[in-house]
Structure 1
Amino acid sequence: MFYDATEASEPVLAFNSFRFFPARRLLYEDDRPLRLGSRAIDILHVLLERAGETVTKDQLIARAWPNTVVEEGNLRVHVAALRRTLGERHIENVVGRGYCFITPVVRSEAGQVAHTAHAAQALPLSGEQSTMAQAKTVYLPQSDGLPPCATRIFGREQTVATLQQQLSERRFVTIVGTGGMGKTTAALAAAERMQTHWRQGTVFVDLAPLTRAEQVPQALAAALVMERPAAMDTAAIVAALRSHHLLLILDSCEHVLEAVSLLAEQILHGAPGVRLLATSREPLRAEGEWVHRLPALELPPEPAPGAGAPPLTMAQAMEYAAVQLFAERVQASAAGLALGDPEAPQIADICRRLDGIPLAIELAAARVELLGIRGLVARLDDCCYLLKGGRRTAKVRHRTLEATLDWSYDLLGESERKLLHRLSVFRRRFSLEEALSIGADNREGLEQAMDALSSLVSKSMLATVSDTGAARYRMLETTRSYAAAKLAESGEHDVILTHYVALGGAPL
């Protein structure tokens, strides 16, 4: 069922522990795919084709930058990148002329290696004879099709292994979770480990920038490097993918759910060699979809009640992924700050109050240099105000916790927003009956409140709790803080709080 690069019959150029697949423009060291930029791939391809010969600088520039005038310094930059990846010993500088690949290269299926990158990449449609055939050709992305991961991930080994297993058994998996939970990171990690399973590799499609449903096919066509992507419709894309064998990652689907659902179903029916891995804050509810809910990072347990229990040590706290992430981000933003046993209980408390959400933990850790651990604990009640100032290079909706929650909130309907506001009074787990009592203004409003409650769970704004036989719910503390601010703005705060106290809740 799967393609394995180690057993492929396609052309391959091998040297030492490296293998280069010209047709897919992929470089492996042993079984590990290596990331190289488009220009570096072009330069490597030429050098391997002509191993043992001197390739002039002009020839390399013409190959990597066709029809473009560039400085020689650009070539040196990419050759240096190749040397960092391969090691210094393979590419020799021939002074005044160019470069030579001096390591012996073993060619399998000699004579079948493509003579140009585009000829190797272009995969013509079988049976496609229309005048649009060229426009419908898929030129697969250069490199490995995945955006680079700048940081390592924590506590997701089991998740990634599970996703690999699910993708090996099913054609369509959606990773679902609240904003900032690390859905994209988990998807990329699973895809990277399975790169050798797909004959044409992986294609990543970022849907977050889209503002209209009709842009979805265009975004996919652009990611597939199709000609004239703005003119592509779903039918043309599916026809182009019919003979392909690859993994499509559809990232951030929640704001274009219906369009992505229709696209996914048509791909599943019309392109049997394509598998789909989607990320979304709620399921797509499409035919063939298998939902994987992404859990929070593992947290240290609450301290045992009563005196006499030994305090948590830093070594014990570091056994949990949430603390590992916090500690690394603190060191990255406040190098030299010591985190020892005295800080361990407070750090565990911070991670618990942030519900083990990776984005919230990262943003909180970035504030330690300014506030210190104690100051951070004291200010955590106002999560949204505190957790601002994320990485400038992050997606806009991930730069602050407030922006992440705004993104989810903007996707809610009016009844869902109203219920979310009201449920923010619960600082504890609550039952279905309590949620409906707070959410419904009268008996006629019970059905609407029930629908809104179900939608909030589906959209990852509420979590279900399985600690008893009856349905119970909880709101993540970061979400609750955000919703409480909205409740205060709504003018309903005092009325809802009175109702909450009448239900037996402690005054806030």
Structure 2
Amino acid sequence: MNSLPSVYCVTCGRRVAVRGDTRRAVPQRLYCSDACRQRAYRQRVARRRTTPTASAPALPDSPWGSAAIPRQLGKFVGRDRELRLLANLSANTLLTITGPPGVGKSRLAHHHVRRMRELQRLTRVRWADLAPAALAGDGQSHSITETLRSMGDGHAVWCDANREHPSTLVVDNADVDLDECAKLVMHLVSACPQMKILITSREPLRVPGEVVFGLNPLPLPPATEHPTIRDLLQSDAMQLFVERASTGNPGFTLSEHNAHAVAEVCRELDGVPLFLELAASRVGILSITELLSRLRQPVTVLTSGSRTASVRHSSFRAALDASYDLLDDQERAVFRQLSVLSEPFGLGLAMAVCGFDERGEANMIELLARLQAKSLLIASTNAFEQTEFRQLTPIRHYGSDRLDAAGETDEVWDRLATWTTAAARQVLDLRPGFGPPPSPSIQHYIARTAEWAMRRDDQRTVPLAAALVRYGTALGQSALVQHLSHRALLLSCDDTDRVRLLTEMAAMQQATGNVTGAESLSRQAVLISRRLPDRRLHRRALVALAASERALGHLADAQANARQALQLAQSGEDPEGVAECVESLATTAAVAGRLTEAARLVVDLTRVLRSLDGAAAAGVQCALGEIALLQGDVHRAEQHALDAARGLRDAPELFGRPLVLLAVVALRRGDRRRTLYLLQNAHALRNRLGHHHTSPLESLVETELRGFVSSCDPGEVAQARSAADSTSTDFLQTYALSSSPMDQPVSEPSADSLTRRQLVIAMLVAEGFTNRQIANRIGASPRTVAAELARIRSALHLRSRAQLAGWAQAILR
């Protein structure tokens, strides 16, 4: 049986499904929707209104010489989404494709133009590539400038030919002379109303009416635990590498043995097409594993590309030298120094490593903006609505080489260590489990600078190791934490930092079951902290000692130390310290079976609730709920858990404790599905935020849940864990606070309820675009975009733009 022919909409180019008998002839014109049918009708009417005899004259060459569209021999891989967005933007007069070196701007522009010509949406196209002449030598570069400035008769004739007839001019690699190119483009826009101009550049022209299309690297393969080859090949970066490697080396095949190494190569090169192609050309000379091990220094490996490629695309160094050479001295210094930051970073950290103080903030913002405009820095918004920056991995390696060559490496690392040490001390001043943990990127920098400081026997290793003890285990760095913390104890340092480290190590030892070791470490912390002026440190050391003694069964000693800590907190007017000490006393009483005494102790805390912030107050509510559960009062436990959850709407990192409490409530009521869902979400939330601290009372309550999980079907647990990994915090809070405890979790908002245009708007919101920028992208007004956003939020039951951006990032991608 013959397969149905491939038929495409004659207006927008979208594929149209042909139904019915295949023997019937396909209609001459097919449309994907009534909107496209109406658009085609209006276009036909407009063509009839033009004078039939007014045929377009032959278009002379552009002032840049060659007007032919260059032919690309290699297979074009991926970029379906980008091509669709470009097609939607093709009606704009001036469209600029920007992106970092090697990201594929020229290739995308070429494919877009050819595709539009095939669809007869572009007819008269001229292509001007400024890169070859610009890089041929100083004299030739000067001739380009003179040509762009030229407004002679030849140029006038060329403009006249385009004045009354639709045409498209593509200017490739415009960044070689942005100022002159911008002037000429503005002249052409005013002189030729029917002309559309498509620019490719590493930096926008920054002229009125310019629509900027930022091109990102190719999507990377999934970083899941055991992906199949089919899963990996869903990534455009993976497809491109495999296609180029097999073309250059026919003996190469993707197999179970090398698939994961290929995926790591794609991630190491951050999905940049040029660098993937350069790496693929080395397959056959180097194995995939050997290639991966050498990509830490890509300058030495990615050295030769296509013979016919332009000079700036001939190697890794040439591609980045072209951008680096266009920077001024201050931009070069900041670009080099930011290369020590391998994770997303904020403005404060950027200022620290580049040596800027508060007075230089405005200058730093300007430099970051200029590097971002030149596509050497990527800006994004994190889950907390904060702007973060990062360099692509290959660009960062190039910057690191430049940093070494400038002799600035140790100086910049020293600045980074100073900043992370201050951040670590700030974290350690917070009570564990109260207050947001440092972001994963800050935790990463703490770990890296701790290693750097340890190699130099720097005393800053001690506070860095203490912070790493608190959060590093959650990041899967247990071996590093153990090594650094024990080495740090051998260094000479300030007693304050030593007490912090001993207290954190004691908590870690107790959490891992080494109660004797925890008791020894906490006792050392108590002895040293007695002579320190900071009473909070002594109080925390006493609480840690009480916890280890309670675990050893020494309940009288635990109660005595907790009472001594409580006296210190009360004398220092420290309400949070009072709450911590009372909870320690209540836990000891509960372990001893004195539940009435434990309840009375925690109820006394309600007198200090008004002086506590939201997190500490929620902690007291959870403690009240946990005592109520131990007494068998499920209803009262639920009310306290719900009160705590309501108080933590703005602190999702602390939401795990009330979730565990609600899970036990659901278990006591026989709702096993809700129990499993809440418990797995509590664990997933703590994993995502690197927050694994549990209070003493919570540990008593959670014992009941461990037996429940072990009795569940493993498939059911895996399903609940998978659902929890994709559940947003907002949705989880709404479900946990649902009025009926027996409600089952409803499904997440689905993309199926949105139109194609609404999906595009949601993706652009996720990328940080304003309403006006989105309007320019889709060819609508800002008012229309605002109305569409209101419909999208209503359809998805989302309250804010930030929630929509989070949903789009999690669901659409």
TM-score, normalization by structure 1:
0.67
Taking structure 1 as reference, are residues 142 and 387 closer, same or farther at Cα in structure 2, changes over 3 Å only? closer
Deviation at 1:493, TM superposition (A): 1.4
Structure 1, residues 50-109: CA drift from partner, whole Å, max 9, x if none? xxxxxxxxxxxxxxxxxxxxxxxxxxxxxxxxxxxxxxxxxxxxxxxxxxxxxxxxxxxx
Equivalence map 1:393-408=2 (5 Å): 393-408=308-323
2:681 maps to: none
Equivalence map 1:434-445=2 (5 Å): 434-445=349-360
Q: How far apart are the structure 2 equivalents of 1:191 and 1:341?
A: 38
Taking structure 1 as reference, are residues 366 and 231 closer, same or farther at Cα in structure 2, changes over 3 Å only? same
69, 76, 85: which is aligned to 1:153? 76
Taking structure 1 as reference, are residues 462 and 165 closer, same or farther at Cα in structure 2, changes over 3 Å only? same
Q: Quick check: 1:297 aligned with 2:218? A: yes
Taking structure 1 as reference, are residues 233 and 456 closer, same or farther at Cα in structure 2, changes over 3 Å only? farther
1:497 maps to: 413
Q: How far apart are the structure 1 equivalents of 2:199 and 2:254?
A: 38
Deviation at 1:237, TM superposition (A): 4.7
Q: How far apart are the structure 1 equivalents of 2:190 and 2:237?
A: 40
Taking structure 1 as reference, are residues 315 and 272 closer, same or farther at Cα in structure 2, changes over 3 Å only? same
Deviation at 1:352, TM superposition (A): 0.8
Taking structure 1 as reference, are residues 198 and 337 closer, same or farther at Cα in structure 2, changes over 3 Å only? closer
Question: Is the contact made by 1:421 and 1:487 (CA closer than 8 Å) also made in structure 2?
Answer: yes
113, 128, 133: which is aligned to 1:191? 113
Q: How far apart are the structure 2 equivalents of 1:199 and 1:292?
A: 19
Q: Quick check: 1:203 aligned with 2:134? A: no
Equivalence map 1:298-447=2 (5 Å): 298-303=219-224, 309=225, 311-447=226-362
Matched position secondary structure for 1:339: coil
% identical aligned pairs: 30
Question: Is the contact made by 1:198 and 1:245 (CA closer than 8 Å) also made in structure 2?
Answer: no
Question: Is the contact made by 1:207 and 1:219 (CA closer than 8 Å) also made in structure 2?
Answer: no
Higher relative contact order (CA 8 A, sep 6+): 1
Taking structure 1 as reference, are residues 494 and 257 closer, same or farther at Cα in structure 2, changes over 3 Å only? same
TM-score, normalization by structure 2:
0.43
Q: How far apart are the structure 1 equivalents of 2:372 and 2:306?
A: 29
Normalized per residue, which structure has more helix? 2
Question: Is the contact made by 2:66 and 2:128 (CA closer than 8 Å) also made in structure 1?
Answer: no
Matched position secondary structure for 1:346: helix
Q: How far apart are the structure 2 equivalents of 1:269 and 1:148?
A: 30
Q: How far apart are the structure 2 equivalents of 1:141 and 1:430?
A: 42
Q: How far apart are the structure 2 equivalents of 1:286 and 1:235?
A: 22
Q: What amino acid sits opposite 1:180 in the alignment?
A: G
Q: How far apart are the structure 2 equivalents of 1:187 and 1:367?
A: 27
1:174 maps to: 96
Structure 1, residues 400-459: CA drift from partner, whole Å, max 9, x if none? 111100001011111110001110011111111111222244444433322111100111
Taking structure 1 as reference, are residues 218 and 240 closer, same or farther at Cα in structure 2, changes over 3 Å only? farther
Taking structure 1 as reference, are residues 138 and 146 closer, same or farther at Cα in structure 2, changes over 3 Å only? closer
- Structure 1, unpaired ranges of 5+: 1-5, 8-29, 32-111, 114-118, 124-136, 221-228, 304-308
Q: CA RMSD in A?
A: 3.1
Q: What amino acid sits opposite 1:163 in the alignment?
A: L
Question: Is the contact made by 1:436 and 1:450 (CA closer than 8 Å) also made in structure 2?
Answer: no
Q: Quick check: 1:476 aligned with 2:399? A: no
Q: How far apart are the structure 1 equivalents of 2:396 and 2:72?
A: 30
Q: How far apart are the structure 2 equivalents of 1:349 and 1:201?
A: 43
Normalized per residue, which structure has more strand? 1
Q: Quick check: 1:248 aligned with 2:169? A: yes
Taking structure 1 as reference, are residues 340 and 490 closer, same or farther at Cα in structure 2, changes over 3 Å only? same
- In the alignment of these two chains, the number of paired residues is 369
Taking structure 1 as reference, are residues 389 and 266 closer, same or farther at Cα in structure 2, changes over 3 Å only? same
Q: What amino acid sits opposite 1:162 in the alignment?
A: L
1:258 maps to: 179
Q: How far apart are the structure 1 equivalents of 2:85 and 2:257?
A: 37
Q: How far apart are the structure 2 equivalents of 1:368 and 1:333?
A: 8
Q: How far apart are the structure 1 equivalents of 2:151 and 2:308?
A: 27
Question: Is the contact made by 1:218 and 1:232 (CA closer than 8 Å) also made in structure 2?
Answer: no
Question: Is the contact made by 2:124 and 2:168 (CA closer than 8 Å) also made in structure 1?
Answer: yes
Question: Is the contact made by 2:372 and 2:378 (CA closer than 8 Å) also made in structure 1?
Answer: yes
Question: Is the contact made by 2:313 and 2:319 (CA closer than 8 Å) also made in structure 1?
Answer: yes
Deviation at 1:484, TM superposition (A): 0.6
Deviation at 1:143, TM superposition (A): 11
Matched position secondary structure for 2:251: coil
Matched position secondary structure for 2:196: strand
Structure 1, residues 197-249: CA drift from partner, whole Å, max 9, x if none? 467521000111236477257379xxxxxxxx895686665445322321100
Q: How far apart are the structure 2 equivalents of 1:288 and 1:465?
A: 24
Question: Is the contact made by 2:352 and 2:416 (CA closer than 8 Å) also made in structure 1?
Answer: no
Taking structure 1 as reference, are residues 442 and 372 closer, same or farther at Cα in structure 2, changes over 3 Å only? same
Matched position secondary structure for 1:496: helix
Using the TM superposition, name which of 315-324 and 273-282 deviates more: 315-324
Structure 1, residues 144-191: CA drift from partner, whole Å, max 9, x if none? 9311011121121111121111012x1111000001100011111111
Question: Is the contact made by 1:144 and 1:201 (CA closer than 8 Å) also made in structure 2?
Answer: no
Matched position secondary structure for 1:174: strand
Q: Quick check: 1:218 aligned with 2:140? A: no
Q: How far apart are the structure 2 equivalents of 1:218 and 1:176?
A: 24
452, 457, 463: which is aligned to 2:378? 463
Question: Is the contact made by 1:251 and 1:279 (CA closer than 8 Å) also made in structure 2?
Answer: yes
Matched position secondary structure for 1:391: coil
Matched position secondary structure for 2:90: helix
Deviation at 1:332, TM superposition (A): 1.3
Q: How far apart are the structure 2 equivalents of 1:314 and 1:336?
A: 18
Matched position secondary structure for 2:234: coil
Taking structure 1 as reference, are residues 318 and 144 closer, same or farther at Cα in structure 2, changes over 3 Å only? farther
Matched position secondary structure for 1:392: coil
Question: Is the contact made by 1:313 and 1:345 (CA closer than 8 Å) also made in structure 2?
Answer: no
Q: How far apart are the structure 2 equivalents of 1:472 and 1:235?
A: 47
Structure 1, residues 371-425: CA drift from partner, whole Å, max 9, x if none? 1011011111001211111111111110111110000101111111000111001
Q: How far apart are the structure 2 equivalents of 1:454 and 1:317?
A: 35
Structure 1, residues 16-41: CA drift from partner, whole Å, max 9, x if none? xxxxxxxxxxxxxx99xxxxxxxxxx
